[in-house]
């Protein structure tokens, strides 16, 4: 992979995202895919933990919020399921490898393959090119993207910092992401307007563990541009840029490994975020 140029970095600051094709090799992508197959093969899901993952706000609150499983997943490797894959008793209606929506949120810390990718020299070099002084990894996820659309959102809604502008997403395509199978869409330049919605931990005793404060403005479809990307490509995502994905209308899957980094220098991580560092897993430094 060619080194990232200053011109590209300027483009990132202007648009709020940057596409870097062929950042990872096909072998690296395949190693992540085969590792996730192993993890799923060994997956034992306690029935009380069978949380369906949803991005629609009410369902999100209901499915994740009623569940400590989500709130305490920051320092573990946990499984979140597609809607409708479990029966009333919590048993799988379809093969379990097709039932998982995502696996999160500490693959980067506890799985050797994902740890190596997250801290790979080229990622560290990119961090330095971006001027990150004390970057730490706050979370990671493996996303299967079988069907669901993801509504327009900003990552800082879920990962809030003071000041803003300290969160950066690394989104790695483990197979080609196309308009048919659910590539990302962005509103260029939308990272400069702050945020209007936050997901916060609810007061103790509330019926859900998290709640939303504020609301997402209505975005028009024509504001978004699609960013198809080939296997091994990396999309850098500013924490406040507005992005979405459409549902996967194809026969092919769209596997992704993604992780979020925070510039820790001069930054306060919100105590109200669902995700909190723990004594077992303080946020690890990106630089090794």
**Which residues are CB-contacts of 182 (< 8 A; sequence separation ≥ 6)?**
145, 149, 245, 246, 247, 248, 249, 254
Question: Can you tell me the distance from the alpha carbon of 205 to that of 212, in angstroms, rounded to the nearest whole number?
Answer: 16
Question: How many independent structural domains does the chain possess?
Answer: 1
Question: Can you tell me the distance from the alpha carbon of 142 to that of 257, in angstroms, rounded to the nearest whole number?
Answer: 5
Residue at 59 is within a domain: yes
Residue at 277 is within a domain: no
Predicted confidence at residue 64, as pLDDT, reads 60
Predicted confidence at residue 180, as pLDDT, reads 94
Sign, CA dihedral 127-133-136-138, equals negative
Residue at 274 is within a domain: no
Instruction: Give DSSP secondary structure letters for 162-180.
Output: ESSS-EEEEEEESS-B-TT
Question: Can you tell me the distance from the alpha carbon of 62 to that of 82, in angstroms, rounded to the nearest whole number?
Answer: 14
- Residue 16 backbone zone (phi > 0: left; psi -120 to 50: alpha; other: beta): left
Domain span including residue 38: 6-269
pTM, full prediction: 0.94
Q: What is the mean pLDDT of residues 96-114?
A: 93
The H-assigned helical ranges of 137-251 are none
Residue at 286 is within a domain: no
Residue at 172 is within a domain: yes
Predicted confidence at residue 84, as pLDDT, reads 81
At 216, which CATH number? 2.60.120.620
Question: Can you tell me the distance from the alpha carbon of 238 to that of 18, in angstroms, rounded to the nearest whole number?
Answer: 9
Sign, CA dihedral 69-73-75-79, equals positive
**Average pLDDT score over the chain:** 91
What is the three-class DSSP state of 6? helix
Q: What is the mean pLDDT of residues 85-111?
A: 87
Residue 50: pLDDT band (50, 70, 90) is low
- Residue 73 backbone zone (phi > 0: left; psi -120 to 50: alpha; other: beta): alpha
Structure tokens at 129: 């090119």
Predicted confidence at residue 63, as pLDDT, reads 59
Question: Can you tell me the distance from the alpha carbon of 49 to that of 78, in angstroms, rounded to the nearest whole number?
Answer: 9
* Contacts for 97-100: CB closer than 8 Å, 24+ residues apart: 97/37, 97/40, 97/41, 98/146, 100/40, 100/43, 100/144
Residue at 280 is within a domain: no
- Is 60 exceeded by the pLDDT of residue 151? yes
- Is 90 exceeded by the pLDDT of residue 240? yes
80 against 145, higher pLDDT? 80
Residue at 183 is within a domain: yes
Question: Can you tell me the distance from the alpha carbon of 148 to that of 104, in angstroms, rounded to the nearest whole number?
Answer: 17
Residue at 99 is within a domain: yes
């Amino acid at each position: 992979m060619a080194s990232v140029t200053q011109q590209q970095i300027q483009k990132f600051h202007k648009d709020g995202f940057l596409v870097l094709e062929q950042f990872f090799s096909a072998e690296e992508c395949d190693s992540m895919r085969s590792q996730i197959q192993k993890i799923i093969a060994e997956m034992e899901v306690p029935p009380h933990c069978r949380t369906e993952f949803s991005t629609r706000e009410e369902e999100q609150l209901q499915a994740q919020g009623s569940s400590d499983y989500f709130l305490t997943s920051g320092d573990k490797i946990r499984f979140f399921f597609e809607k409708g894959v479990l029966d009333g008793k919590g048993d799988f209606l379809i093969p379990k490898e097709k039932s998982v929506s995502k696996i999160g949120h500490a693959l980067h810390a506890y799985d050797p393959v994902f740890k190596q990718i997250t801290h790979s020299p080229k990622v560290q070099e990119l961090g330095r090119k971006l001027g990150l002084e004390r970057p730490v990894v706050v979370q990671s996820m493996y996303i299967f993207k079988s069907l669901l659309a993801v509504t327009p959102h900003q990552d800082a809604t879920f990962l809030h910092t003071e000041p803003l502008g300290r969160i950066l997403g690394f989104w790695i395509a483990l197979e080609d992401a196309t308009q048919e199978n659910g590539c990302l869409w962005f509103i260029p330049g939308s990272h400069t307007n702050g945020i209007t919605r936050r997901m916060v931990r609810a007061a103790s005793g509330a019926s859900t563990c998290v709640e939303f404060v504020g609301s997402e403005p209505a975005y028009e479809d024509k504001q978004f541009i699609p960013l198809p990307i080939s296997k091994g490509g990396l999309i850098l995502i500013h924490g406040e840029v507005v992005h979405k994905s459409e549902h996967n209308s194809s026969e092919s899957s769209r596997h992704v490994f993604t992780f979020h980094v925070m510039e820790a220098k001069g930054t306060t991580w919100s105590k109200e975020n669902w995700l909190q560092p723990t004594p077992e897993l303080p946020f690890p430094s990106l630089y090794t």
